């Protein structure tokens, strides 16, 4: 049952941070709102004690996507529909655009926002692996300060982040890559449409002179929260890409997931699938890089 709630509709971020400085207890930010009704209906502990919602619908400054020479900035209240077709995103951040297009269905993508997706920090948040792979930063505002921190440091535990009750995420900032990375996003759900993710992977690969110069691997759903798998990345950098290396990465990934999650009823299925997928995806990216070299 949805209780009676106070709804506030500020017109700027300045107004929001003033409100949050005075009444952050029992107050939640309302962006897309796709979790609000289900959350109250199932009596989710995340919504217990909520008395006031701050509606972000009228805050245009939270819906801007822009780029500079060094970085791309995405407003926290941009919807996934906007992100999936925005030219700046599709040209520079294809993994994020692809993941945005897999979320829910068109009505959900029209409502759900990028910051709302990751600030809930659900294991199945599809935007998280691409954002982690792209080394995303967040701009977070309060009445006292504006701070910048990495998304990776912000995600703490399932449904828990380091964002304080008196703060609001205003921007997602992604550094531009100066070199050509080959990348892919993979999602597995129980069905093709409106599927909650069972496994997600985002991979970026930089190969120069037949050596792996850089690699980014991020997982979601198969781990309690989205994670950058830095140990796997470091084990590959400096090595020649080949089948033996990719098989070794696959084994290490399975072992790492079991270390993080422990043995569960779904472990055999998930670990087997994610091992096979990372192997296939790395092979695919390597072949793409080789074909690009031939075309040169």
- In Å, what is the CA distance from 220 to each residue of 92, 207, 223, 276? 22, 25, 6, 16
DSSP category for residue 194:
S
Mean pLDDT by 10 residues, the chain (296 residues): 87 96 87 84 81 93 97 98 97 97 90 94 92 98 97 95 96 95 89 72 96 96 92 96 96 89 72 92 94 74
Full DSSP string of 113-180: BHHHHHHTT-TT-TTHHHHHHTT-EEEEE-SS-EEEEEHHHHEEETTEES--TT-EEEEEEEEPPSS-
pLDDT of residue 126: 93
Q: Taking the alpha carbons of 130, 141, 60, 5 in that order, is the dihedral positive or negative?
A: positive
Find out whether 62 and 41 touch, Cβ atoms under 8 Å: no
Residue 196: name the closest of 124, 99, 102 by CA: 124
DSSP category for residue 261:
H
Domains of the chain: 6-55 (3.30.43), 60-175 (3.30.465.10), 182-295 (3.30.390.50)
Q: What share of the chain is helix, strand, coil (3-state, %, to 5)?
A: 40, 25, 35
pTM over 0.85? The answer is yes
Helices (H), 6-79: 13-22, 36-41
Find out whether 34 and 108 touch, Cβ atoms under 8 Å: yes
Query: Look-up: residue for tokens 């072949």?
Result: 287
pLDDT of residue 8: 95
């Amino acid at each position: 049952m949805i209780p009676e709630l106070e709804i506030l509709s500020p017109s700027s971020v300045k107004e929001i941070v003033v409100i949050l400085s005075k009444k952050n207890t029992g107050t939640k930010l309302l962006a897309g709102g796709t979790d609000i009704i289900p959350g109250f209906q199932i009596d989710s502990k995340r919504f217990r004690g909520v008395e006031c919602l701050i509606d972000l619908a009228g805050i245009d400054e939270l819906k801007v996507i822009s780029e500079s020479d060094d970085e791309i900035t995405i407003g926290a209240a941009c919807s996934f529909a906007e992100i999936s077709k925005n030219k700046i995103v599709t040209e520079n951040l294809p993994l994020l655009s692809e993941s945005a297009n897999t979320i829910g269905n068109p009505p959900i993508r029209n409502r759900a926002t990028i910051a709302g997706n990751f600030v809930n920090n659900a294991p199945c948040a599809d935007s998280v692996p691409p954002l982690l792979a792209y080394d995303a930063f967040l701009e977070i505002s309060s009445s006292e300060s504006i701070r910048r921190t990495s998304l990776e440091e912000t995600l703490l535990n399932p449904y828990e982040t380091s964002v304080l009750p008196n703060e609001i995420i205003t921007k997602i900032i992604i550094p531009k890559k100066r070199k050509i990375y080959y990348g892919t996003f993979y999602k597995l759900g129980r069905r093709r449409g409106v599927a909650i993710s069972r496994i997600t992977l985002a991979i970026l690969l930089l190969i120069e002179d037949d050596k792996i110069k850089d690699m980014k691997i991020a997982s979601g759903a198969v781990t309690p929260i989205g994670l950058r798998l830095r140990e796997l990345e470091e084990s590959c950098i400096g090595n020649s890409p080949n089948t033996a290396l990719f098989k070794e990465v696959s084994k290490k990934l399975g072992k790492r997931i079991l270390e993080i999650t422990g043995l569960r009823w779904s472990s055999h299925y998930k670990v087997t699938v994610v091992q096979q997928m990372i192997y296939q995806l790395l092979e695919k990216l390597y072949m793409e890089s080789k074909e690009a070299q031939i075309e040169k």
